[in-house]
């Protein structure tokens, strides 16, 4: 007699893959990225290489902060579906998250070649162009998008930001106001509106905008800092580190050209001129070294130059000069407390404007500087009657007595002070002090 085989369920790989796929989409939409990832991977096990599943898995990984893992999946999806605009947009998002802005832009451009009116690609293109400092092109992209689709608050926000970058302040303010009319709780818009009004010299309105940004859950450290720069609100003792890092990361590519060629920045040269002629140094530490503009000025008289800075992109530029022995990514005060090296020269060109209160830095320099070593730096000079001041430019200024008191408290003798116009702000000369102290 024939034995009956046990009944096994008939599994349709397509149906199984589809179920997992839909589970993944639901989890992704609910923000449960771990479940979404597992579901998309399960779906791919049933139906390997399916482009739409690969794309969704890639989008999940990008959103989970793992964009590098998304890229090979998107290559696979594009091999299966050449020219897929969806895959190209996901590729753009992954590349943008990796900071590869130009490659991300190229991915969106490729998508737009086959679908010129693809709204998400147009939008991301504008965002990336702004990041690259190409505000004119960003405005063209945004206005094309706004002609296709009624702009939402996000589009007006970016429109405002782009106009602000182009110096079209009145128009930018209108765009921010339109964004806020659609989304009154938009903390980022309130904050950007505050910076715009601050630059327009409308301080009470700027203060109101920063207060609104705080009320609506905007970045508390940043908005308090901005608020203090335009009002008598309690002054933070330092610029937010994340703000400085982001500011200079985005500035790094154009820093030398913009500051030196356009704005005539000369502080490194002035500080170098304070070094006694003919003196040689065994080791120099360049605090807030930026792109390394001090490097070539120090190389002839220093056996070794080290640098420390908060911005990785600026440090990368300094590294390219080949003039620095060590470069550290750190806050200057923290680094000075921990570093094991000792120096006979420490410099800081246009850095203390972001550091704010200088007690810790002076204590740290006293720790790393050998007796007889020199401490050379610039500060913006505070207005009469102020000691430490946070200005609407979002930069700190220090008075000469403030610095002299710190010098005395930490065992430095003030050897030399020069007064210079460091830069112009809204057409007004900004006076600064160039100082040379010696470690007793
Ligand atoms: C205006 S740039 C000057 C760069 C360079 N010293 C020069 O003269 O070209 C200011 C630099 O200081 C850095 N910086 C500001 N605050 C800092 C901090 N607390 N710790 C480390 N670096 C800081 C910034 O990242 C930026 O690179």
- For the segment 219-240, what is each residue's pLDDT rounded down to a tens digit? 999 999 999 999 988 899 999 9
pLDDT at 291: 96
Ligand 1 in reach of 380 Cβ (< 6 A)? no
Ligand 1 in reach of 331 Cβ (< 6 A)? yes
Q: How far is the CA of 83 from the centre of ligand 1 (A)?
A: 43
Ligand 1 in reach of 324 Cβ (< 6 A)? no
Per-residue pLDDT tens digits for 132-155: 889 999 999 999 999 999 999 999
Q: How far is the CA of 315 from the centre of ligand 1 (A)?
A: 10
Ligand 1 in reach of 289 Cβ (< 6 A)? yes
Atom of ligand 1 nearest to the CA of 241: 19
Ligand 1 in reach of 349 Cβ (< 6 A)? yes
Q: How far is the CA of 302 from the centre of ligand 1 (A)?
A: 21
Q: How far is the CA of 114 from the centre of ligand 1 (A)?
A: 44
Ligand 1 in reach of 230 Cβ (< 6 A)? no
Same domain flag for 136 and 252? no
Structure token digits, residue 227: 């608020």
Structure token digits, residue 109: 């451009």
pLDDT at 410: 97
Domain boundary among 234, 258, 287: 234
Ligand 1 in reach of 328 Cβ (< 6 A)? no
Q: Report residues of the chain scoring pLDDT below 70.
A: 1-11
Confirm whether 310 is domain-assigned: yes
For residues 44 and 53, is the Cβ–Cβ distance under 8 A?
yes
Same domain flag for 203 and 259? no
Confirm whether 7 is domain-assigned: no
pLDDT at 2: 41
CA Rg value for the chain = 27
Pocket test residue of 310, 357, 359 for ligand 1, highest count of atoms within 8 A of CB: 310
For residues 309 and 293, is the Cβ–Cβ distance under 8 A?
no
21 φ, ψ to 5°? -60, -45
Same domain flag for 255 and 280? yes
Same domain flag for 427 and 281? yes
Q: How far apart are CA 354 and CA 240, in angstroms?
A: 9
Ligand 1 in reach of 327 Cβ (< 6 A)? no
HEC profile of the chain? CCCCCCCCCCCCHHHHHHHHHHHHHHHHHCCCHHHHHHHHHHHHHHCCCCHHHHHHHHHHHHHCCCHHHHHHHHHHHHHHCCCCHHHHHHHHHHHHHCCCHHHHHHHHHHHHHHCCCCHHHHHHHHHHHHHCCCHHHHHHHHHHHHHHCCCCHHHHHHHHHHHHHCCCHHHHHHHHHHHHHHCCCCHHHHHHHHHHHHHCCCHHHHHHHHHHHHHCCCCHHHHHHHHHHHCCCCCCCCCCHHHHHHHHHHHHHHHHHHHHHHCCCCHHHHHHHCCCCCCCEEEEEEECCCCCCCHHHHCCCEEEEEEEECCHHHHHHHHHHCCCCEEEECCHHHHHHHCCCCEEEEEECCCHHHHCCCHHHHHHHHHHEEEEEEEEEEEEECCCCCCEEECCCCCEEECHHHHHHHHHHCCEEEEEEEEEEEEEECCEEEEEEEEEEEEC
Same domain flag for 166 and 312? no
Torsion of the alpha carbons at 129, 135, 141 and 145, rounded to the nearest 10:
110
Instruction: Count the domains in the chain.
Output: 3
Return the CATH number at 165.
1.25.40.10
Same domain flag for 261 and 201? no
Domain boundary among 177, 201, 234: 234
Return the CATH number at 395.
3.40.50.150
Q: Is the dihedral of CA 94, 100, 105, 110 positive or negative?
A: negative
Domain boundary among 203, 234, 265: 234
What residue's CA is closest to ligand 1, atom 20? 331
What residue's CA is closest to ligand 1, atom 8? 349
pLDDT at 7: 47
pLDDT at 105: 96
Same domain flag for 250 and 395? yes
Structure token digits, residue 299: 């190389």
212 φ, ψ to 5°? -65, -40
Same domain flag for 179 and 254? no
Alpha carbon 144 to its chain centroid, in Å, reads 28
Confirm whether 435 is domain-assigned: yes
Same domain flag for 315 and 359? yes
Same domain flag for 310 and 226? no
Ligand 1 in reach of 311 Cβ (< 6 A)? yes
Same domain flag for 365 and 293? yes
Pocket test residue of 269, 351, 361, 432 for ligand 1, highest count of atoms within 8 A of CB: 351
Per-residue pLDDT tens digits for 259-278: 887 778 899 999 999 999 99
Ligand 1 in reach of 313 Cβ (< 6 A)? no
Rounded to a whole number of angstroms, the distance between the first and last alpha carbons of the chain is: 107
pLDDT at 426: 73
Same domain flag for 291 and 219? no
- 228 lies in which domain range? 193-234
Q: What's the residue count for the chain?
A: 440
Residue 284 β-bridge partners: 305, 345
Confirm whether 1 is domain-assigned: no
């Amino acid at each position: 007699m024939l034995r009956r085989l046990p009944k096994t369920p008939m599994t349709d790989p397509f149906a199984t893959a589809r179920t997992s796929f839909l589970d993944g989409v639901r989890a992704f939409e609910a923000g449960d990225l771990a479940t979404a990832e597992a579901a998309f991977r399960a779906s791919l096990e049933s139906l390997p290489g399916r482009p739409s599943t690969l794309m969704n898995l890639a989008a999940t990984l990008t959103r989970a902060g793992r964009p590098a893992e998304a890229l090979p999946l998107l290559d696979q999806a594009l091999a299966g579906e050449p020219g897929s605009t969806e895959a190209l947009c996901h590729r753009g998002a992954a590349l943008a998250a990796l900071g590869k802005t130009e490659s991300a832009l190229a991915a969106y451009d490729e998508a737009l070649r086959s679908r010129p009116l693809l709204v998400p690609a147009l939008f991301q293109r504008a965002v990336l162009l702004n990041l690259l400092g190409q505000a004119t092109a960003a405005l063209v992209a945004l206005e094309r998008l706004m002609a296709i689709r009624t702009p939402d608050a996000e589009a007006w926000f970016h429109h405002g930001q782009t106009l602000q970058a182009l110096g079209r302040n009145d128009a930018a303010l209108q765009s921010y106001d339109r964004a806020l009319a659609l989304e009154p709780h938009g903390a980022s818009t309130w904050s950007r509106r505050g910076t715009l009004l601050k630059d327009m010299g409308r301080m009470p309105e700027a203060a109101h905008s920063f207060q609104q940004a705080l009320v609506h859950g905007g970045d508390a450290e940043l908005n308090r800092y901005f608020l203090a720069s335009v009002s008598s609100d309690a002054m933070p003792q330092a610029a937010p580190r994340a703000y400085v890092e982001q500011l200079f990361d985005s500035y790094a590519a154009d820093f030398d050209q913009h500051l030196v060629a356009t704005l005539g920045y000369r502080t490194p040269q002035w500080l170098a001129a304070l070094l006694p002629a003919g003196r040689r140094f065994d080791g120099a530490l360049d605090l807030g070294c930026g792109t390394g503009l001090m490097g070539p000025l120090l190389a002839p008289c220093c056996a070794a130059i080290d640098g420390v800075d908060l911005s990785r992109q600026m440090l990368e530029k300094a590294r390219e000069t080949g003039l620095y022995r060590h470069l550290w990514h750190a806050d200057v005060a923290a680094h000075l407390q921990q570093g094991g090296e000792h120096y006979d020269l420490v410099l800081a060109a246009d850095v203390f404007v972001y550091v704010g209160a200088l007690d810790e830095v002076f204590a740290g320099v006293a720790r790393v500087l050998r007796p007889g070593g020199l401490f050379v730096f610039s500060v913006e000079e505070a207005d009469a009657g102020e000691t430490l001041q946070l200005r609407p430019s979002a930069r700190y200024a220090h008075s000469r007595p403030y610095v002299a008191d710190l010098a005395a408290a930490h065992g430095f003798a003030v050897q030399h002070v020069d007064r210079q116009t460091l830069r112009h702000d809204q057409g007004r000369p900004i006076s600064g002090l160039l100082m040379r102290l010696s470690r007793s």
